[in-house]
Amino acid sequence: MQQRLTAVVGEDSYLVREGLVAVLMDGGIEVLSVAGDLDELRDAVERDRPDVVVTDIRMPPTGTDEGIRIARELAESHPEIGVVVLSQHARAAYATEVFAAGNPRRAYLLKERLASPEFLIGAVRAVANGQPQVDPQVMTLLVRPEGAEPGLDRLSRRETEVLALLAEGLSNTAIAERLVLTTRAVEHHINSIFEKLDLHDPKTNRRVMATLVYTHGRD
């Protein structure tokens, strides 16, 4: 039996909003309320406390980065709430900002995924369970600016084991206990993972990005 989830939708376009609600409801996700601007969305979250917020990246009042702003705000005020940010364009900078706070309960998807309801529903369920998601078209922009595929095959067996546990959300100490390693050894492996996966950008949360690479590479 699938987990019962609730959502709040933030989208100023009536047609897109209704489409989102229909897709979510058909996927077994209860939509508690909808909002057409950032203030309405904030109020809806405080009132309804959903499991996940599904929001356009651009809404009134400025029509610029409202979706990113709510993702950042909720990372501080309600870290247990997942946020799925939808965008018209595949922009690595936007995705980086969505994940900058380090909360794994985040997704950055292209709006064209509305044509693939199962993809959107899967992303909503994933973030609710603490598994970050990035649209495949955006993924390589994040981990390899030149467009090459991320190289999980470059990792050693031990590094792959460490990354798998990292993707589960375990701390360095917990990973060390699970694999019977020292914490310093785990730190060494994680730094090596970052290096081999080309995760050098200081503006990104590299643990979350490594999790995304691992998840994407196993699809």
Q: What is residue 219's predicted lDDT score, i.e. its pLDDT?
A: 54
Query: Which pTM value belongs to this model?
Result: 0.74
What's the confidence (pLDDT) of residue 74? 96
CATH class in words for 5-134: alpha beta
- The single-letter code of the amino acid at 56 is D
Split the chain (219 residues) into runs of 10 and give each run's mean pLDDT: 87 93 95 97 97 96 94 95 93 83 88 87 93 80 53 85 85 92 94 85 74 70
Q: Where are the domains of the chain?
A: 5-134, 152-217
Q: How far apart are CA 211 and CA 219, in angstroms?
A: 13
**Helix, coil or strand: residue 35:** strand
Which residue type does 4 have?
R
Structural fold of domain 152-217: Arc Repressor Mutant, subunit A (1.10.10)
- Domains 5-134 and 152-217 fall in the same CATH topology: no
Determine the pLDDT at residue 148.
Answer: 47
Q: What is the DSSP string of 165-211?
A: HHHTT--HHHHHHHHT--HHHHHHHHHHHHHHTT---TTS-HHHHHH
DSSP structural state of residue 163: H
